[in-house]
Amino acid sequence: MNTSTLVRHTLRASGRRVTTCRPYVGTQFSRRLASTLALFEQRDGKLQSSAQNVVTAAKKLGNPVVGFVAGKAAKEVAEQAAKIEGVDKVVYVANEAYEKGLPESYAPLVAENAADDVSHIVSMHSAFGKNVMPRLAAILDVQQVSDVISIESADTFVRPIYAGNAIATVQSSDPKKLLTIRGTAFGNAPAGSGAAEIVEGKDSKHQGSVEWVEENLTLSDRPDLDTASKVVSGGRGLKDKENFEKIMIPLADSIGAAIGASRAAVDSGFADNSLQVGQTGKVVAPELYLSVGISGAIQHLAGMKDSKVIAAINKDPDAPIFQVADVGLVADLFKAVPELTEKLKK
């Protein structure tokens, strides 16, 4: 008895519904084989939490969800992924060549594993997704749909355009649909109680002409900007890097928030580029977004206007940020923020 049979057997014995079998009964041939391939990201053998957003989106498409992961310790990652609620099967390719997710080899690998029965391929609209998915789309001759914020049906998707100033509803006529999704628009599928079948994928040992040299990632104990429930964000008003750190770090620590920045702050070297919130940076949607010394240009608003509560501190009462802020304080940030930090600590 192999692993997958064993899992199903155990599930039956425990009286749980075996979801992998359900869609195959009593439907048309074309439907009964259809499935959604969900690309999961991993780093050093650890499944990234974005997989839970991808599964939530993939489930909305109606077909069984097949996770896909490749890398050095892909089997271990597949075991973590198999536990996510709603995943029916996980395909893994354990090969160090795919460890860094280089699109030249990763895209053909996914194409090889996306057999005719795959109706949709879903990935996060992250650096990984943005690199791999369009290349895969070109290989499969599909027009990908980027940064999907809502799935209306199996072929109709909603996405922001023009820095979120317009929302487009598009219908795809492609035989396979490729989507990258905005994580914050889809909830987290619960991890921990699923028991999907795990199978080894095909691997024709794809090679690309580009090699990975090194990476330089900002490591911090603070919550991840993408997934933090609270974000404090600083802009040009902080004047320099020293002030940015002196003012924003204690504020973030006082409420356990992640730190973000406007493009002006990043361009002026106050903060690392990876902290940029906006159309061309990160898109966040936390419970609380507290902006400090940010005027609120449309490119910045594109990255944060779906936050549940927006608060702003700015000395200019006419700053556009106050048009979207649920609560605004017109004040000199150099006085107001330290006072706020002190009071929040209590």
Partner 1 sequence: MSTLRILVPVKRVIDYAVKPRVNKSQTAVEIAGVKHSMNPFDELSVEESVRLREKHTPKTVEDILAISIGPPKAADTLRTAMAMGCDRSIHVEVPEKDEMLEPLQVAKVLKEVVEKEGRNLVILGKQSIDDDSSQTGQMLAGLLGWGQACGASEVVLDGEYLKVTKEVDGGTEVVKGKLPMVVTTDLRLNEPRYASLPNIMKAKKKKLEKKKLEDFQVRAENRLKNLKVTEPPPRQGGGKVDNVDGLISKLKELGAL
**CA 307 vs CA 84, 186, 210, 276, 325: distances in Å:** 26, 14, 38, 16, 10
* Interaction of residue 233 with partner 1, rule CB under 8 A: no
Minimum distance of partner 1 from residue 4's CB (angstroms): 33
Interface positions, 68-107, toward partner 1 (CB under 8 A): 100, 102-104, 107
Determine if residue 42 is labeled as part of a ligand binding site.
no
* Interaction of residue 218 with partner 1, rule CB under 8 A: yes
Minimum distance of partner 1 from residue 194's CB (angstroms): 26
Q: What is the DSSP letter of 127?
A: H
Paired sense of beta strands 65-71 and 230-234, if any:
unpaired
Which of 12, 46, 308, 345 binds partner 1 (CB under 8 A)? It is 308
Gap between the Cα atoms of 79 and 92, Å rounded: 10
Minimum distance of partner 1 from residue 233's CB (angstroms): 14
Select 64 or 103, whichever has its Cβ closest to partner 1. Answer: 103
* Interaction of residue 236 with partner 1, rule CB under 8 A: no
Determine if residue 323 is labeled as part of a ligand binding site.
no
Determine if residue 262 is labeled as part of a ligand binding site.
yes
Residue corresponding to tokens 């990234």: 48
* Interaction of residue 211 with partner 1, rule CB under 8 A: yes
* Interaction of residue 298 with partner 1, rule CB under 8 A: yes
Interface positions, 18-47, toward partner 1 (CB under 8 A): none
Phi-psi region of 256 (alpha: psi -120 to 50; beta: other; left: phi over 0): left
Taking each helix axis as running N to C, give the angle between helix 333-345 and helix 241-255, from 0 to 180 degrees, rounded to the nearest 10. 30
Gap between the Cα atoms of 155 and 119, Å rounded: 10
Residue corresponding to tokens 């330290």: 338
* Interaction of residue 142 with partner 1, rule CB under 8 A: yes
Determine if residue 298 is labeled as part of a ligand binding site.
yes
Residue 209, C-beta contacts closer than 8 angstroms, at least 6 positions apart? 104
Minimum distance of partner 1 from residue 24's CB (angstroms): 29
DSSP-derived 3-state class of residue 282: strand
Taking each helix axis as running N to C, give the angle between helix 127-140 and helix 103-113, from 0 to 180 degrees, rounded to the nearest 10. 60
Contact region for partner 1 (CB under 8 A) — 1-9, 80-88, 199-207, 298-306?
298-306
Determine if residue 172 is labeled as part of a ligand binding site.
no
Which of 10, 161, 207, 332 binds partner 1 (CB under 8 A)? It is 161
Which of 26, 29, 44, 215 binds partner 1 (CB under 8 A)? It is 215
Size of the site for partner 1 (CB under 8 A): 88
- In which element (H, E) is residue 150 found? strand 150-151
* Interaction of residue 317 with partner 1, rule CB under 8 A: yes
Minimum distance of partner 1 from residue 322's CB (angstroms): 6
Phi-psi region of 136 (alpha: psi -120 to 50; beta: other; left: phi over 0): alpha
Determine if residue 168 is labeled as part of a ligand binding site.
no
Which of 1, 15, 209, 221 binds partner 1 (CB under 8 A)? It is 209
Determine if residue 31 is labeled as part of a ligand binding site.
no
Q: What is the DSSP letter of 117?
A: T
Q: What angle do CA 192, 113, 79 make, to 5 degrees?
A: 20
Residue corresponding to tokens 């990935």: 123
* Interaction of residue 141 with partner 1, rule CB under 8 A: yes
Minimum distance of partner 1 from residue 27's CB (angstroms): 26
Interface positions, 257-286, toward partner 1 (CB under 8 A): 263, 267, 272-274, 279-280, 282
Binding-site residues for FAD: 236, 262-263, 276-280, 293-300, 314
